[in-house]
Structure 1
Amino acid sequence: MNSRKTVFIEDMKACVDYTIATLGKKIVLAMPLALGKSHAFANEMYRRAKADPEMQLLMATALSLEKPTASSELERRMLEPIVDRIWKGVPDFEYMLDLRAGRMPANVTLKEFYFRAGSFNHVASAQQNHYSSNYTHVARDMMNEVLEDKSDWGFVFCQLAAKQVIDGKTWYSDSCNADLNLDLKRLLPMGRELGIQGLHIAQVNSNLPFMYGDAVSDETFFDVIVDNEAYDAPLFSVPKEPVIVAEHMIGLHVSTLIKDGGTLQVGIGSLGDAISNALLMRHHHPEDYRSVIADLEVMERYGALVDRVGGLDPFEKGLYGSTEMLVGVFLDLYDGGILKRKVYADPIIQRHINDGLLSETITPKAAACILEAEELNPVIGEKTFAGLQQCGFFKSHLRYENFGIWDNETWYAADLRDDDNRQAILDHCIGDRLTNGIICHGSFFIGANRFYAYLRRMSEEERKQFIMTGVAYVNQLYGDETIKRLQRKDGRFINAGMKVTLMGHVASDALENGTVISGVGGQYNFVSMAHALEDARSILMVRSTKDLAHGVDSNVVFNYGHTTIPRHLKDIVVTEYGIADLRGKVDSQVVKCLLNIADSRFQPELLEKAKKAGKVASDYQIPACYRNNYPEALAEKLATYKAKGFFKIFPAGTEFTDEEIVLGRALRGFKAKAAASRVGAAAGVVSSFFRPVPEQALPYLKRIGLDAPETFRDRLLQKVVLCALADDGAL
């Protein structure tokens, strides 16, 4: 909140004029991660810098969203209709187009703390300008650009915001990006006190759902607000990814580790969808769920762990979400009746709920129990009263006055040492039901178009259960630690890694040659918090292998030259082959647990390396029950259930057509085949020239405009597609 009067501007060029006039020509432009950026402001500011070499522009952000582009004629035919359908009207970031084309001017620098996985592997400027920062440190590190070595620069934070009139007053919501707001409220005033010129700018976008919680503020939170429907760009959609067998297997194993009545954090992507799918199966199809768990021998191998930290039964109490990223998984679980455990902002209320002494309906016995709480005795204080009233314990029309509770007619003394006072409060001041329950705390969101539509369709009452707040709240225990510990009981913080070493190190964000794949984001925050909470567990998911041009490599390795999560924070690691409970284990146990969940094609070599290093006995053998870890065995175990409609490739739906799904899978397979053996791929294409076009191929060929090729090039492309479809089994 600032003491200056907020400036309202309708034209974005005028807004940039105002920014430069206020801050000068040396500007640090900070923008939210992913969805919350203003295309209009970023593009106009970038144009000014391109046109004026005297300007210096440093953009600090993460995940500058890009529409997919084609690198071949076949990809163009596939992508153009998809882009037009899914991303119609979504603007491009001009600085990203120039970055990709290698024409970004020397007076502009882009620094990012998180990439779309693999999107900048071979972009030197991006690799050189990556912030390796915990999510909870990002706002600080952005501000450090001007606080430390650019004190003569101006600082601007520009974001999108939703707008809503409530009881005659206009309010603004950070909506998709409340992630840095708690830090900004602290850091922006601090910067001004140190003499840093700064602006906080919001551009209203009516396509954003109005989200509640710490995301909501009045106009005074911003220095400048641009409110013009001409800038209401469509929201960027992230379509669901296909979920393959290995990912479904990981989801199944993880689902057994989630306790009814607990807390869930999970991210975007196919692994998150696999977990959601398995949890919904556990809840709605318990017999089939128990059957597949039995076929996987989960309880035989990990029964003690599952009984201790998870379960197999449907969710009677439900789950509460505490997640930096509010993803479609949580809406699927909400829709499916699993995300339903409500938490409350008051520690007295939450403690009594956790202890089983209070439920949503406030009984006389529960009310009397709460009045016995130490915090209310001997006299109920004003702050304590307000916290309890916010949760519905005290009736909403009451107010605290002169050490008593006033209902406009009668004053009830708040001194609980007097039994008559206590009884009067119980008789006249207690509400019937708790209010303002929260089923999910999130910090930012991004998803598919139907995800945004779902949030917009929600009633106001429903949306108020999904509280958006900063990562300073969600990703750590510091500050308000008492209530966070109470709310986050039985926390399961689930994230993905790329490689795990036999010593227990996990690499999630970069390669050993230094190439940054994505970023640490909040992963370290959640792993650390899992160890700080008494009943929480960190679960890191790692696909056991990776397909490369030269073949298959193991992601379970003896050692690796990069670490995101060090082994002293080891906890649970899950691959498609099982669960490794590493917490509190000595090195030999860690090695054995991880060998058990490695792909069997690589187990002998890994075991030999462990023996040479002296980490397991020279005569140790991997138990026979763990030596059938092959993809074919997994597919066989799921086949029966796939035939019954479970474990679909898009379990949560998709924005792609049936033809696009098959074509995409087939062409990816052909591309991999060609990378491994150009001769083999070419032979298949040549042989298809001598065969007629199968009738069942026509829908696919029509989709990419190759059903009636006129040129030799188009005929060649048609044969490539036919070969790919045949290899995939679609023909």
Structure 2
Amino acid sequence: MQIEHRYTDTDACARYLADELGADLRVAAPLGLGKPHGLLNALYRNTAADPLRSMRLYTALSLTRPQPAPGLEWRFLGPFLERHFGADQVDPQYALDQARGALPSNVEVHEFYLQSGALLHSACAQRSYISQNYTHVARDLVVQDINLLVQLVARREGPDGAHYSLSCNPDLTLDFLRQVQLAGKQRPLCVAVVHPDLPYLSGHAEVAEDYFDVELCPETTPPLFALPRQPIDLAEYALGLHASALVRDGGCLQIGIGALSDALVKALLLRQQDNTVWRRALVALDRRGATHALAGWLGGLTAFQAGLYGASEMVMDGFMHLQRAGILKRRSWDNLALERASAAGRLAADVPGGHYLRGAFFLGSRELYAWLDATEAADPDAIDMGPVSNVNHLYGDHQVLATLQRRGARFFNTCMMATLLGAAVSDTLDDGEVVSGVGGQYNFVAMAHELPEGRSVLLLRATRQVRGGIESNIRWNYGQTTIPRHLRDIYVTEYGVADLRGKSDSECVEAMLSISDARFLDALCAEAKAHGKLAADFVIPDAWRRHAPRYLHEALAPFQQKGLLPQFPFGSDFTEIEQRLLPALNWLKACSSHWRGRWRLLRAICRPGAMAADEAEAQARMGLAHPTKLADRLQRRLLQAALRRKQM
């Protein structure tokens, strides 16, 4: 059946939807990339302009470009953002208004996962946040009486007519509409917003034309939102090296996004491509041999032969790099007999239909989007995007098959903090302020405990920079936790691996102390003893006193000097001069956040030292080559101080 209502004009489509559905819009939109910003903005404008109308939006991860502050930050980020995202990129206006507390009273925005840090201090966003496991969202949406679902899609003409691919976001759409049907509720009006650059992925993501009621194919569309690639520092590399030894050949891999995940991927590539160097780096870090001992029975120290199977809620750039390196290659079949034969080594390599990567949504760089498109064209079976109920959940008709597919599973995810007793803090600060959301983290941990060979591995930096100093990310206790202590499993910091599964409280405390920063060991140890969780005669081993940044630098500096641990291992979206500016501007920002730093900055301005290399080019990039105003001259002096700081 063909769609009756087709539009190329976004405003006309929005007016039709408003007329068709009445004064009360209850809208569901995918998380992340799959949100059609243009249509949502049109619906938002129409509602905001008419106090007799209302709009409630249920979504997550509303992606907006960074909003740089005036001054040096704007001078640096302004040109970069326009170049990277495109001058015609469209932000969701409701998210910008929500961040500054300017949502109209007839609009509500409820998200179950926030763009990390973007809405941290927005009272409106904090009040409207819904704390949910990823796999519970579709179920809970059913009771909200959603009357409109909007989604970015890819479109393809076939012999039997048009087909759509849910592409980047089959995650909740498939589950939600199935739950609506099971509940006997009226199906919402479904709008397919076609984006010409969105990769067309078949499999579970492909739906027939009659899946949607309305098609919007705008005459012009902004480029897909692409994440800038992040730098990796030595501490993150250390963490990635430890974590990479926990991965078992022939196993299953879940990884998230961010610098820690990128460091893990780079370490896995090094393990595969230069195993001797990888082992040397691991030995340099693992003087006590603790990580090596765990690798002997949990992971491995050799290159991958059978390869890995990816089953991850999010498909990100790391999987692309692993596939290109021949690591992501173990295929699985959605047929129990074939999967059993494959696990037993009795299935011929040329049996069609197997996939090596299953995900629920994707988000990453433009290179990732091009790779997905090319992979679909060359090998349509390779990647299967499907509902989150399959990817993040074991129970149901697929349980036996999913358990077999995910043999040797390692669920890597990041957290902000952890307690000595093994609870994880990932989404909320001590005062209840939400940073991001639970997302799928509980799902990963629960699956790891249910799968025969599954392990949950939570990655975190041992410390964090705060105003005026350093704090430990390993605490005695914390008011808000995402993963409770009774689901504790494995934690990894730059100082090693703590295996907590099945351990007593005192054993957990000792294991977490063994991966803590040395500057906080005495205080943490004393608190554990005060609460009776550590023996009074326990003595901190001398080896743990070496858990400090300078020892990490000593261990990894030789590998860094040989170019094996580059700042941008997967390429950079910044130019060379911008890469030179980044650490200087970060130093300025850190100094400006506390009085000691401001005093240091004042001294640096008064005694700037000798001119730094590429300083003139850096000043030109920042538009400060020939400042005329007093404010601009001050900014130039600040920049000089930051660029020359290592020479003072």
C-alpha change, 1:220 and 1:246, in structure 2 (3 Å) is: same
Contact 2:420 2:477 (8 Å CA) reproduced: yes
Give aligned-pair identity as a percent.
Answer: 39
Q: Distance in 1 between matches of 2:53 and 2:59?
A: 19
Q: Which residue of 2 aligns with 1:448?
A: 365
Q: 3-state SS of the aligned residue for 2:313?
A: strand
Q: Distance in 1 between matches of 2:45 and 2:139?
A: 27
Q: Distance in 2 between matches of 1:114 and 1:131?
A: 8
Q: 3-state SS of the aligned residue for 2:276?
A: helix
After superposition, residues 121-270 of structure 1 pair within 5 angstroms as 121-146=120-145, 155-167=147-159, 169-190=161-182, 193-194=184-185, 196=186, 198-228=188-218, 230-270=219-259
C-alpha change, 1:265 and 1:707, in structure 2 (3 Å) is: same
Please list the CA deviations of residues 21-58 of structure 1 after superposition, one character each: whole Å capped at 9, or x if unmatched: 22211111111001101112101100110111001101
**In the alignment, does 2:17 pair up with 1:19?**
yes
Q: Which residue of 2 aligns with 1:388?
A: none
Contact 1:596 1:627 (8 Å CA) reproduced: no
TM-score by length of 2: 0.96
1:694 is displaced (CA, Å) by 4.7
Q: Distance in 2 between matches of 1:41 and 1:231?
A: 13
Q: Distance in 1 between matches of 2:646 and 2:354?
A: 49
Q: 3-state SS of the aligned residue for 2:590?
A: helix
**In the alignment, does 2:305 pair up with 1:316?**
yes
**In the alignment, does 2:30 pair up with 1:38?**
no
C-alpha change, 1:647 and 1:694, in structure 2 (3 Å) is: closer
**In the alignment, does 2:292 pair up with 1:295?**
no
C-alpha change, 1:6 and 1:544, in structure 2 (3 Å) is: farther
Contact 2:201 2:376 (8 Å CA) reproduced: no
After superposition, residues 585-600 of structure 1 pair within 5 angstroms as 585-600=503-518
Q: Which residue of 2 aligns with 1:633?
A: 551
AA matched with 1:700:
A
**In the alignment, does 2:379 pair up with 1:469?**
no
Q: 3-state SS of the aligned residue for 1:145?
A: coil
C-alpha change, 1:124 and 1:308, in structure 2 (3 Å) is: same
Q: Which residue of 2 aligns with 1:354?
A: 343
Q: Indicate the structure (1 or 2) with the bigger Cα radius of gyration.
A: 1
Q: Distance in 1 between matches of 2:509 and 2:100?
A: 46
After superposition, residues 646-665 of structure 1 pair within 5 angstroms as 646-665=564-583
1:508 to 426, 447, 455: 426
AA matched with 2:363:
I
AA matched with 1:596:
S
1:523 is displaced (CA, Å) by 0.4
1:299 is displaced (CA, Å) by 7.2
Q: 3-state SS of the aligned residue for 1:171?
A: strand
Please list the CA deviations of residues 335-375 of structure 1 after superposition, one character each: whole Å capped at 9, or x if unmatched: 11111111111111111211222241xxxxxxxxxxxxxxx
1:178 is displaced (CA, Å) by 1.1
Please list the CA deviations of residues 246-294 of structure 1 after superposition, one character each: whole Å capped at 9, or x if unmatched: 1111110110000010000001111111011000000000110111111
Please list the CA deviations of residues 153-194 of structure 1 after superposition, one character each: whole Å capped at 9, or x if unmatched: x52110000011234532110111111133123123346x33
After superposition, residues 272-287 of structure 1 pair within 5 angstroms as 272-287=261-276
1:77 to 44, 58, 75: 75
AA matched with 1:111:
H
After superposition, residues 468-507 of structure 1 pair within 5 angstroms as 468-479=385-396, 480-507=398-425
Q: Distance in 2 between matches of 1:40 and 1:658?
A: 34
AA matched with 2:622:
I
Q: Distance in 1 between matches of 2:423 and 2:280?
A: 33
AA matched with 1:557:
R
Please list the CA deviations of residues 49-71 of structure 1 after superposition, one character each: whole Å capped at 9, or x if unmatched: 01110011011111111111221
The alignment's C-alpha RMSD in Å is: 1.7
AA matched with 1:39:
H
Contact 1:477 1:529 (8 Å CA) reproduced: yes
Q: Distance in 1 between matches of 2:4 and 2:430?
A: 48
2:324 to 335, 351, 356: 335
Unaligned runs of 5+ in 2: none
Contact 1:207 1:233 (8 Å CA) reproduced: no
2:520 to 564, 579, 602: 602
Q: Distance in 1 between matches of 2:406 and 2:291?
A: 24
Q: Which residue of 1 aligns with 2:541?
A: 623
Please list the CA deviations of residues 663-695 of structure 1 after superposition, one character each: whole Å capped at 9, or x if unmatched: 12211112112223222212211333xx67556
Contact 1:257 1:306 (8 Å CA) reproduced: yes
Q: 3-state SS of the aligned residue for 1:602?
A: helix
Q: Which residue of 1 aligns with 2:478?
A: 560
Q: Which residue of 2 aligns with 1:681?
A: 601
Contact 1:493 1:538 (8 Å CA) reproduced: yes
TM-score by length of 1: 0.86
